[in-house]
Amino acid sequence: YVLQMKFIDYLHGVYPKPHIDLHAGELAPSLVPPEGLCCHIRLAVEMGHSERIGHGVDVMYEDRPYDLLKEMAAKHVMVEINLTSNDVILGVSGKDHPFPIYRKFHVPVALSTDDEGVSRINMTHEYVRAASTYALSYADLKQMVRTGLEHNFLPGASLWREPDAFRRTAAACAPDTAGAAKPSAACAGFLKSSEKAQQQWELERRFREFEAGF
C-alpha cells in the first residue's frame, strides 16, 4: 500500500490538476492483523493527496486517530459513507461505525451506496438507514446532500463562499435567495460560468420547492 501511495504521490507531482479519490480503510479487525489497520487512511490523505476517501471504516484503529480526524477536517477531505456495504461486507454497523465520529470532528461526510447492484439498494435506502440509526435531523440530511455536491468534481467554482459551511453564497449571488427562479444578472452570469454552482443552485431550488409543501 505504501508503494502504491508513492506512485500516486509521484504522479500527482507530474500531473497536479486531476482530482484524486481513493478507497481507504475498508477494513475491520477481523480481516487483518493489527498492523494492517495502522495507516491506510492517513497515507491516502497525506501521500496519496486524496480529496475524498471511500469507506474510511477503520479510522479509529489508525495511529493517532484524533490527529488524523482533525487533519481531515482542516483539509476538508470528504468521506463517502457506505452504511449497508460496511455492514454486509465488514460486519460494522450502528455504534461501531465511525460515521458519528466523523461528524463529531466536522469531517465532511456524504452517503453512498458503494454498489447499488450488489447490495440491491439505492440512495433513499441509505438516507433512511442513516436517519433511523443515528437519529439525524432534516438539517443533518440537507447538510450531507450539500456536502456531496460540494465535493464532487464538476468543473467551476462552488456556489458557497466557505467550504462545507453552506451559509453564505458566492459574492455574485449574495443578494439573491439561493435557488430562486430568477437570479440577478450578476448571479446568473456566475452560475453560467460554473457547472458545479449550477447544480448547487438547482439543489437549493428543489429544497425550496419541497419545503414549500409543509
Query: Where does the chain show beta strands of DSSP type E?
Result: 21-24, 52-55, 78-81, 109-111
Range list of H helices, 18-161: 40-46, 65-75, 83-85, 99-104, 116-119, 123-134, 138-150
125: CB partners within 8 A, 6+ apart: 84, 113
Alpha-carbon distances, residue 88 vs 55, 81, 120 (angstroms): 13, 14, 12
What's the CA gap between 35 and 30, in Å, rounded? 12
From CA 29, how far away is CA 90, in angstroms rounded? 9
**What is the C-alpha to C-alpha distance for residues 204 and 57, in angstroms, rounded to an integer?**
31
**Measured between alpha carbons, how far is 8 from 47 in angstroms, rounded to an integer?**
8
Asked if 51 is an active-site residue, the reply is no
Name the catalytic one among 26, 62, 126, 204: 26
Q: How far are the Cα atoms of 71, 73, 112, 127, 193 from residue 78, in angstroms, in the given order? A: 11, 8, 12, 17, 25
Which residues are catalytically annotated? 26
